[in-house]
Amino acid sequence: MNKSAFRKSAGTVALVSAAALVLAGCASDGGEAGSGNGKITLTVATFNDFGYTDALLKEYSDAHPNVTVVHNRAATSNDARANYFQKLGKSGLADIEAIEVDWLPEVMKYSDMLAPVPEKLHDRWLDWKVNAATDSDKNLIGYGTDIGPEAICYRGDLFAEAGLPTDRAEVTALLTGGWDKYFEVGNEYTTKTGKPFFDSAGGTYQGMINQVEAAYENPKTGDVTATENPDVRKIYDEVLAASKTQSAKLGQWSDDWNAGLADGAFATMLCPGWMLGVIEGNAKNVTGWDIANVFPGGGGNWGGSYLTVPAKGKNVEAAQELADWLTAPEQQIKAFSNSGNFPSQNEALTNATLLEATNEYFNNAPIGSIFSERAQAVTLSPFKGEKYFQINDAMQKALTRVEEGTQDADTSWKQWVSEVKAIK
């Protein structure tokens, strides 16, 4: 063999070994969850804070010695969402994947790719929690974890300045009724103090539209009905009429809104359980925030999550068992103690630990019993189809345009209509 031939064959060897390395690299991620001696590893992927601490998960592996539970936490629900849809049709998802109601309609489109929840568990959760995650074949695809029943948060000190009652029970009585009642009180507050009553039209609208059974789409056909639905226009007009004088016009989650929470820029806001932490985090030194056991127009829910088991996983049955255990009332009560996530299980709502929970920052309000009652006041699960979030996002922008003063209500509505018509 001469020199060049040697060089060539050496090159071939190098190429083959490089290819082998690449292949080995690809293969290594598949072999881990293998089941030697019946031992399995289950992965659980969540985001933010579900309250599933290592100690809680250890309880499960102690009771099931053959199971190792690995918990991966994504920073935000958006990261989890991107990951979920990239891998759902392929591979690489955890055995149990958490999803948020915000993207539940998108998940429902692929409900056939998820292992359904066994029928015997269906009455564990509140009806509306189950209905929202049940597909047209009557398969429930998510194990409910937490919910966001809404109450009204208010600034007791600002109420006092306006001559309104400050006591929790009195405020509850004052605000009981429909949205017209809420805006009426707002009008009184604004006239007396000259200061805004609620944070933004967008946030308030969200609470109102969530009480409409089928706001934007026909549940049977999936056709977009948003622009012709008189309820939508009525709410739009109502909230914008009040917004003129009563809104602080601070878009939710904006930097100005964060600052406004501490600054007293508005006196009330719609308040699901998880919002308490947001308010406290942004307004540490403010003492006036309190919470009233009332929500205009009946109950309302904002947010919440489910656990899903992708049907392509390696250990689907073991994963279903773990998801069942994690979302059982006992474990969700522990999760509530860990992170404040409000449980969605019927039994958990009457649990003593939950009912006794109070929040020091909110003037020692009995938040456990308040949110338990607010959860039971929710009666319907609004239909959210595939296009719900695009339509709703456009609506939020329409409201913001009016609040910012760049368009009047009619122009903005017309632009929204044309935007909704363009969605396809």
Partner 1 sequence: MSSSTTAPGGARSRPRAARRVGFGGGLSRWDLKLSPYLYISPFFILFAVVGLFPIAFTAVISFMEWDLVRGTGEFIGFEQYAYVLGQPKFWLALRNTFSIFLLSSVPQLIVAVFIASLLDKNIRAKTFWRMGVLVPYVMAPVAVALIFSNMFGDRYGIINTLIQTIGLEPIPWHSNAFFSHVAIATMVNFRWTGYNILILLAAMQAVSRDYYEAATVDGAGPIRQFFSITLPSLKPTLIFVIITSTIGGLQIFDEPRMYDRPGTGGPNSQWLTISLYLYNTGWGEWNFGRAAALAWILFIIILLIGVINLFVTRNLVRDEGGHRPPTRRERRIAARDRAAVSAAVAPSSNSQEVSR
Instruction: List residues binding partner 1 (CB under 8 A).
Output: 2, 4-5, 7-8, 11, 15, 82, 85-86, 88-90, 106, 109-110, 113, 250-256, 259-260, 263, 265, 390, 393, 396-398, 400-401, 404-407, 415, 422, 424
Which helix (H) or strand (E) is 181 found in, with range?
helix 179-193
Which helix (H) or strand (E) is 47 found in, with range?
strand 40-47
Shortest reach from residue 4's CB to partner 1, in Å: 4
DSSP state of 20: H
Shortest reach from residue 259's CB to partner 1, in Å: 4
User: Is the Cβ of residue 263 or residue 373 nearer to partner 1 in the bound state?
Assistant: 263
Give the length of the chain.
424
DSSP bridge partners of 307: 98, 143
Shortest reach from residue 169's CB to partner 1, in Å: 34
Shortest reach from residue 276's CB to partner 1, in Å: 19
CB contact at 8 A, 125 and 345: yes
Shortest reach from residue 105's CB to partner 1, in Å: 11
User: Is the Cβ of residue 3 or residue 120 nearer to partner 1 in the bound state?
Assistant: 3
Shortest reach from residue 161's CB to partner 1, in Å: 21
> What's the burial of 339, exposed, middle or buried (CB within 10 Å: 0-12/13-18/19+)?
middle
Shortest reach from residue 406's CB to partner 1, in Å: 5
DSSP bridge partners of 291: 153
Lookup result for tokens 């969540």: 46
Spatial neighbors of 34 by CB under 8 A, at least 6 apart, are none
User: Rounded distance, CA 110 to CA 365, Å?
Assistant: 41
Q: Which of 154, 206, 149 is nearest to 185 (CA)?
A: 154
State the DSSP string of 252-287: TTSHHHHHHHHHTS-SEEEEETTHHHHHHHH-TT--
Give the pairing type, strands 268-272 and 143-155: antiparallel
User: Is the Cβ of residue 54 or residue 137 nearer to partner 1 in the bound state?
Assistant: 137
User: Is the Cβ of residue 332 or residue 396 nearer to partner 1 in the bound state?
Assistant: 396
User: Is the Cβ of residue 86 or residue 218 nearer to partner 1 in the bound state?
Assistant: 86
User: Rounded distance, CA 83 to CA 351, Å?
Assistant: 35
Q: Which of 256, 202, 222 is nearest to 416 (CA)?
A: 202
User: Is the Cβ of residue 109 or residue 192 nearer to partner 1 in the bound state?
Assistant: 109
CB contact at 8 A, 107 and 99: yes
User: Rounded distance, CA 42 to CA 96, Å?
Assistant: 8
Shortest reach from residue 95's CB to partner 1, in Å: 18
DSSP bridge partners of 31: none
User: Is the Cβ of residue 274 or residue 336 nearer to partner 1 in the bound state?
Assistant: 274
Shortest reach from residue 408's CB to partner 1, in Å: 13
User: Rounded distance, CA 385 to CA 391, Å?
Assistant: 10
User: Is the Cβ of residue 11 or residue 178 nearer to partner 1 in the bound state?
Assistant: 11
User: Is the Cβ of residue 6 or residue 34 nearer to partner 1 in the bound state?
Assistant: 6
Residue 154 identity (one-letter amino acid): Y
Per DSSP, helices labelled H in 98-229 are 104-108, 127-132, 156-161, 168-175, 179-193, 201-209
